[in-house]
Amino acid sequence: MDRTERFYKIDSLLQAHRVVPVDQMLAELEVSLATFKRDIEYMRNRLNAPIEWDRDAGGYRYATGAALQQNLPGLWFNASEAYALLMMQALMAEIQPGLLGAHLEPLRARLRAVIEAGQHPAADVESKVKLLTVAARPVPDKYFELVASALLRRIRLDITYFARGRNESSQREISPQMLVHHRGNWYLAAWCHKQNAMRSFAMDSIERVEVLGKAAKSVPKSELTTFIGQGYGIFSGNRLSWATLRFSAERTRWVTRELWHPQQRTKHDAEGRLILELPYTDARELIMDILRHGHHVEVLKPETLRDSVKSELALMVDQYQSRAIGPGLRQVSA
C-alpha cells in the first residue's frame, strides 16, 4: 500500500484499539520500523494527529481526550456513506475498468477502513454490487485518459477513427465537447473540423490519439444540448421527427415504466395498450429497439419509419426462408 493508504490504516487501527503495539502496526502495514516511524512523525507534524507513545502499554494510541475521528487528508466518511461510495466505485470499475483505479485506491482504502470498523468486511460490500453491461466495447485506458484530459483542458485532438459503417479509417482534427456513456459504451461528442460540424465518435473506434497545442472550438451549450439530446439514441441528425408506437397490453406492463426519451409522451388506448410518442433524428437505434419487442409493438407513424421497419422484417423473413444454414445441411425453404 502507498503512504496515504498507510495513514488511513494507522488511523483505523488507533480508532479500533486503545493501544496498538508496534509489532502489530508493522505486520498490518507491511513496512520496516524506520518507514513506520517516519509515517508517525509525518502524521504528528503535518496532519496534527494526536498520536502518543504509551511506554507502559508498549504501543501507540491517540491522546486521551482527542476527538474520536481525526481528519486525515481527503474526506471523512461515516459508515453509511462509505457503503454507498464503495458501491459507486464498484459500478465505476465495471463501466471503465482500470481508468480511475490508481486515483481511487487511496479513497478505497479509507472506505474499507471505515467499513471494517463496523459489522461487515469491506469485501462483502464490494461483492454485493454488480453492473452487467451487454455488448460493452472496452476502450484503451491511454486513449480514454488523453481524450478526457483534452476535454477538460479544452484543447484539440488529432485522431485516427475507424468508421464501422464504411469499413474505413480516416484522420480527423476534433474539438472534444462531451463524453457520453450510453448503453454500456463510451462516445465522444466533438466538433469535427474536417466536416465543420458536430459529430459523435465511438471511443472504442479511435485508433490513434495525438494532443494538439491548439485551443478547442467552443460549441454553445444550447447547440450541444440539441445535438446530444433532441433525438432518440446516440445517433444524431438534422431533421427531427416524431415516432408513435403502440405496444401490446402484455408488453405495456413493462414499457409503461420505461423512459425512452426525456420528451416522450404516453397514453393508453381503450384496450389498455400503451401509445408511446418520442422524437428521433436518426432511425437506426430506434428501429433496433422496436425489433427487440417483436410482434408486441407496432409503428403507427410516421409512414417512413413504418416502411423502414417493414423492410427490415422482410429481409429477416427472407433470410430465414432461403439462407443455407451450413455445410452439409439442407437449405431451408418456405
> What is the Cα–Cα distance from 198 to 282, expressed in whole angstroms?
15
Amino acid (one-letter) located at 296: H
C-alpha cell at 296: 408486441
C-alpha cell at 185: 459504451
pLDDT of the chain, 334 residues: tens digit per residue: 677 778 888 888 888 888 999 999 999 999 999 999 999 998 888 777 889 999 888 899 988 765 444 555 544 455 566 666 666 666 666 666 555 555 566 666 666 665 565 555 666 655 666 666 677 777 777 788 889 889 989 999 999 999 988 899 999 999 999 988 888 788 899 999 999 999 999 998 999 999 998 999 999 988 888 888 777 777 776 788 999 999 999 999 999 999 999 889 999 999 999 999 999 988 999 999 999 999 999 999 999 999 999 999 999 999 888 766 655 555 544 4
Amino acid (one-letter) located at 161: Y
> What is the Cα–Cα distance from 230 to 221, expressed in whole angstroms?
13
Residue with cell 444540448: 225
Domains of the chain: 3-62 (1.10.10), 79-127 (no CATH), 141-229 (2.30.30.520), 241-321 (no CATH)
In 3D, which of 45, 50, 40 has the Cα closest to residue 7?
40
DSSP state of 214: E
Cβ partners under 8 Å of residue 207, min gap 6: 159, 160, 161, 162, 169
> What is the Cα–Cα distance from 244 to 99, expressed in whole angstroms?
40
Instruction: Find residue 61's DSSP bridge partners.
Output: 52
Query: What element of type H or E holds 285?
Result: helix 283-292
DSSP helix/strand/coil, 82 = helix
Q: What is the pLDDT of residue 334?
A: 41
Amino acid (one-letter) located at 186: W
Q: What is the pLDDT of residue 191?
A: 95
Instruction: Find residue 170's DSSP bridge partners.
Output: 161
Phi, psi of 222 (to 5 degrees): -65, -40
Tell me how far apart the 2 most distant CA atoms of the chain are, in Å.
92
Q: What is the pLDDT of residue 254?
A: 93
Cβ partners under 8 Å of residue 272, min gap 6: 249, 252
In 3D, which of 168, 169, 229, 162 has the Cα closest to residue 198?
229
In 3D, which of 241, 229, 222, 223 has the Cα closest to residue 282?
241
